[in-house]
Amino acid sequence: MKKSNCILLFIFFVTFNLIQAQDEVKKSKFNIIGYGGIGYGIVENNNEPNYNLNSNSGEILLNYNINQKFGIAAGIGMNKLSGNGFNSVGNFYHERTLLKVPLLFTVGSKLYENFRVFANLGFYGQNIIKDEYRFLNNTQKDVYDSWNFGAQIGLGFLYEIFNNYYAGINYTGQSDLSKFESNNNVGINDEQKMKNLNSVGITLLIEL
């Protein structure tokens, strides 16, 4: 009887210690990261003159923490571009909306008790969902279409405003690696990509 009680007592203590260890280690490996910003970039054409576009962008990412510092994030973003330019057809005002799908390697670390830094590096694919050129006498839509790919980098500084809720500022830089092709709607046969698109804005991180 004593032997059975000792075994049961031993099992109880082992089980209790395992549960306590799991509770201490148990912490969500997922973060939600959202940010939005404004900036500008350069539209680089093969045959037509280059021109600048302003940017209003935002992204929502789900980040999986491999360990305390490193992770992998994926999500969805939207980028609205607008600005003036000219080409062989004439002067125009250009508006474009892009749907973006990033896949990123992330790094995060606490600087002080309530401050942390968050960085990411990776690639994205994006698709033109709206493309409009307003010339003096007419408007042309869907001049360029399809998908292209690029690389991006981001850096954010965050402050813990509530438990597991962080807010701060964020910088994002990106450049396309492949080009969009024109569909010859307005007599333009060209390829183009966006390079040196830099934006600054606010970011929010939630630890799940």
* Percentage above 70 pLDDT, the chain: 85
Output 118 or 23, whichever has higher pLDDT.
118
**Whether 128 contacts 143, CB under 8 Å:** no
pLDDT tens per residue across span 178-205: 999 988 666 678 899 999 999 999 999 9
Across the range 22-28, mean pLDDT stands at 50
Q: Is the pLDDT of residue 35 over 70?
A: yes
Let me know how many helices (H) and strands (E) the chain has, helices first: 1, 11
Q: Which of 134, 130, 150 is nearest to 142 (CA)?
A: 130
Q: In the predicted model, what is the mean pLDDT of the chain?
A: 87
Top pLDDT among 49 and 112 is at 49
Inter-CA distances, 163 with 66, 160, 167, Å: 22, 7, 12
Contact between 180 and 190 under an 8 Å Cβ cutoff? The reply is no
- Mean pLDDT along residues 35-63: 96
Q: Which residues contact 44 (CB under 8 A, 6 or more apart)?
A: 50, 192, 193, 194, 195
Query: Residue 85's pLDDT is what?
Result: 95
pLDDT score of 147: 92
Does residue 118 have a pLDDT over 60?
Answer: yes
Q: What pTM was computed for the model?
A: 0.82
Q: Is the pLDDT of residue 169 over 90?
A: yes
Domain 28-207 in CATH 2.40.160.20: yes
**Average pLDDT for residues 1-17, to the nearest whole number?**
48
Question: Is pLDDT at 4 greater than 80 in this prediction?
Answer: no
Summarised one tens digit per residue, pLDDT across range 51-102 is: 999 999 999 999 999 988 899 999 999 999 999 999 888 899 999 999 999 9
Q: Are 191 and 45 in contact (CB under 8 A)?
A: yes
